[in-house]
Amino acid sequence: MGKVMLEVKDLKTKYVTRLREDVYAVDGVSLKIEEGKSLGVAGESGCGKSTLALSLMGYYFPPLHYMSGDIIVDGKNISGMKPDDVRKKVLGTEIAYIPQAAMNALNPTQKIIRFIEDVIHAHEPNMSKKDIYDLAKERFGILGLPAEVLEKHAVELSGGMKQRTVIAISTILSPKVLIADEPSSALDVTSQKMVIKMMRDLMEKGYIKSMIFITHELPLLYNVTDDIMVMYAGQIVEIGTAKEMVFDPLHPYTKGLMGSIIVPEEGVRGKKLAAIPGTPPNLKHPPKGCRFAERCKYATPTCRGMEIPNIETADGRVYRCLMSERKIRGVYENE
């Protein structure tokens, strides 16, 4: 086993709303990522993916609150750190975070090199502008971005170029963990591919030591990440290797997210056949028992009656469903 870069143990966080109705958006998440590995996080909108990202990088500003659990980056427990310490000691060097729609948040009137200076000066206040420029130019070159971009303003860049630039800026300090929230979702197919290639390059060249890639599209993660975790209503419902999750899902929700035509050699092809009927539950009052039961065509009264534990199979697959692995596979085969 490789060195563990990120370990999360039973993390629970919530939004405290003005009406004092708490939203339990991350409800007992545990995961582990080794050096050189990447984890995809998938699930429909509202399942808690972005909240998990915010929680991992210690972004606890109202209404988001930390409740319990551990976040350990390269052996150092950062849970419970003050936001100011997180900013000084964690962001950029330990964890880099690319928020959803980050490329649209770049100040349009500032040159790209100025953003890089800001990121570097937060940690290396004495580094000269010339050294920063040289570092940025080298990094951009290796990542396939033209050096001229450094002198441009965000408004002058296309969507795809802007997103790749944001990723290069955020990882300039070679963080141990990169968390990217829907980094390719708003882009056309060509730009999407370039963004994904860049994230893989960052890993291969060792500029980041591990990565979390968040998306609402599970099939996209095949070929992109080593492992995949599927979230539903703030909880993990299944976790496994990309191949297992895409081609041999166990949880009915994972199977539902895969509602596409699959060609093993090419990954995933074709249009979505059908969306899963219904919507995720309200997290202010999560249902008792299996949170997916209401939308699951295999659900029995037992599923609604008891808290469903994570089940680990003999070969290490983990899923949260009362159906046995054998029964699940039998059911899927007959569909």
> Beta strand 227-232 with 37-42: parallel, antiparallel or unpaired?
parallel
Q: What is the dihedral of CA 32, 289, 47, 96, to 10 degrees?
A: -20
Residue listed under structure tokens 């596409």: 260
Instruction: Give the residue from 316, 318, 328, 179 showing the smallest Cα distance to 239.
Output: 318
Instruction: Report the nearest approach of ligand ADP to the CB of residue 14 (Å).
Output: 9
Cα distances from 134 to residues 113, 129, 304, in angstroms, run: 11, 9, 59
CA separation for the pair 231, 113 (Å, rounded):
37
User: How many Cβ atoms from other residues are within 10 Å of residue 173's Cβ?
Assistant: 19
Instruction: Report the nearest approach of Mg ion to the CB of residue 195 (Å).
Output: 17
Q: Which helix (H) or strand (E) holds 162?
A: helix 159-170
One of 2, 63, 146, 278 touching ligand ADP (CB under 6 A): 63
Give the number of residues in contact with ligand ADP, rule: CB under 6 A: 14
41 binding partner (options Mg ion, ligand ADP, none; Cβ < 5 to 8 Å by kind): none
302 binding partner (options Mg ion, ligand ADP, none; Cβ < 5 to 8 Å by kind): none
One of 30, 50, 185, 223 touching Mg ion (CB under 5 A): 50
One of 6, 11, 25, 268 touching ligand ADP (CB under 6 A): 25
CA separation for the pair 229, 304 (Å, rounded):
23
By CB under 5 A, tell whether 185 contacts Mg ion.
no
Instruction: Report the nearest approach of Mg ion to the CB of residue 204 (Å).
Output: 27
Q: Which of residues 265-304 bind ligand ADP (CB under 6 A)?
A: 283
Stretch that binds ligand ADP, among 15-23, 295-303, 306-314, 317-325 (CB under 6 A): 15-23
Cβ proximity of 212 and 177 under 8 Å: yes
Residue ranges binding ligand ADP (CB under 6 A):
15, 17, 23, 25, 43, 45-51, 63, 283
Residue ranges binding Mg ion (CB under 5 A):
49-50
